[in-house]
Amino acid sequence: WDLFYDDLHFTYGADRMVRTNSWPGTQVQRIAFPIPAGTARVQGIRIDPGPVEGTRLLKAIVLRGPYSELRLGPDSVVRWFSAVNDLSPLRVDTVQEAVPLRVRGADPYFASNRDLGALTQALIDERRPVLPPFLGGLAIGMLAALLVRLVRWPVFRMRSRAARTFTRYRAKRLALALLLGVLFGLLVQGIVDNISFTDRTVRIEFTVTAPKSDNFQVFHAKGPGGFGDGGYVNAPVAASDRPQVLSFRMPKDTAFSHIRFDPGNSQDSLLVHAMEFRCARQTVHFGPGELLALFQPNEQVRDLRQTPEGLAMRFTGDDPFLFCDEDLRSTLAKLQERAGNGPMPALFGLLAAVFMFLTALRLGPVVPDALQGNGAEWSLTVLFAALMAAPLLSEWLPILPHLPDTEKRKLADRPELRMHSLQEY
């Protein structure tokens, strides 16, 4: 990769260029271009991603100075930069949260389409900032004092303003408020945990070296040999002597247990370095030896062998493929379970529990009085709670809807509780 920067010359030249390298892979790489010390201004940037055809995913551009930094996400990159020559127009891929850089020739690059001096001038400033950290510490201290006051005020109540003595709430009322807080926190955590904060679609990624340009497919099915014409995902591959990553985004909410890898109909040989199942930030890696044990070739694949570089194979026809007879459902289920929402649902549940606990303490005698009721009121209360909790049964009961098996089917074998479904209910 080459980065050209324009300081005061209003042009790009080899004397103002920084070069660095990247490597094929599915992990996010941080490529650094250090600008020489003493540069007073950077008003333009041009980035050359290299002449190798294929697609790179640009997550962000970070402008980092001595004491601060500015992050340009995908939307900002498309707004501030434009593609030139052999690079496809820049657009935002909302699913992968990145800007695909599609190289189509030997001279691809993208450059800033407006003056960046206003953005970079404050970052280049070498004066140490003093006021923002001080104001940040002051705000944190005030927030901590406010939280301490909110926690202490409901627990203690003034008995006499003259004597200014305090008394604790009765143990029964405190225990009831604590119970309500815990139950409400668990309810909120369960609801929030069913909201996907990130894209949790399963991706199957192959790292291959292909000598010819073609379209590769991955077929998916529920059982051995059940591959149909509609159950596949397509990905283009560019001719190159370097490894490249092919990402197959599997249909959302479609359950599958077996896959088949079709390397097109133009290749006469192929080298597969690795395969990965990816869901959010979690992955399951398959090396050459694992791929050799997992996949079986058809009659048009010959000379299938494991090499130090990967799984090498040669083809004799125009319809070669590798199929998997092993049930992958348990592997995919564990992957999706690990690719959860992280600590976010627990934090929401904790905040909701604290809110309910403090609210119940502040209500005082109202909470115990609300629990006094006759049999009819208790029956209606239990019935209402049971009806509201009915969608949660799909988390434990093996519900199997009889629906056509298509890629647009909204329910899998075991339907998950989705937030929009809960709102409709």
Q: What is the pLDDT of residues 368-393, one digit of tens each?
A: 566 677 888 888 988 998 888 776 66
Domain covering 203-338 assigned CATH 2.60.60 in the classification:
yes
User: What are the structural domain ranges in the chain?
Assistant: 2-124, 203-338, 373-425
Answer yes or no: are the C-beta atoms of 44 and 34 closer than 8 Å.
no
- pLDDT more than 70, % of the chain: 81
Q: What is the pLDDT of residue 47?
A: 93
User: 144-164 pLDDT, tens per residue?
Assistant: 888 887 766 655 554 444 444
* Secondary structure letter of residue 272 according to DSSP: E
Question: Of 45, 15, 51, which is closest to residue 242 (Cα–Cα)?
Answer: 51
Distance of CA 289 to the CA centre of its chain: 29
How far is 375 from 23, CA to CA, in rounded Å? 70
pLDDT above 90 for 60? yes
Contact indicator for 251, 233 with CB cutoff of 8 Å = yes
Averaged pLDDT for residues 119-145: 78
In angstroms, how far is CA 401 from the centroid of its own chain?
Answer: 29
DSSP state of 394: G
pLDDT in tens, 243-285: 888 889 888 766 788 999 999 888 899 999 999 998 877 889 9
Helix (H, G, I), strand (E, B) or coil at 268: coil
Using the structure block, give the residue that is written with the tokens 């080298």: 271
Q: How far is CA 19 from CA 39, 333, 425, in A?
A: 17, 42, 57
Report whether pLDDT(77) > 90. yes
> 210: which 2 tokens?
């292909």
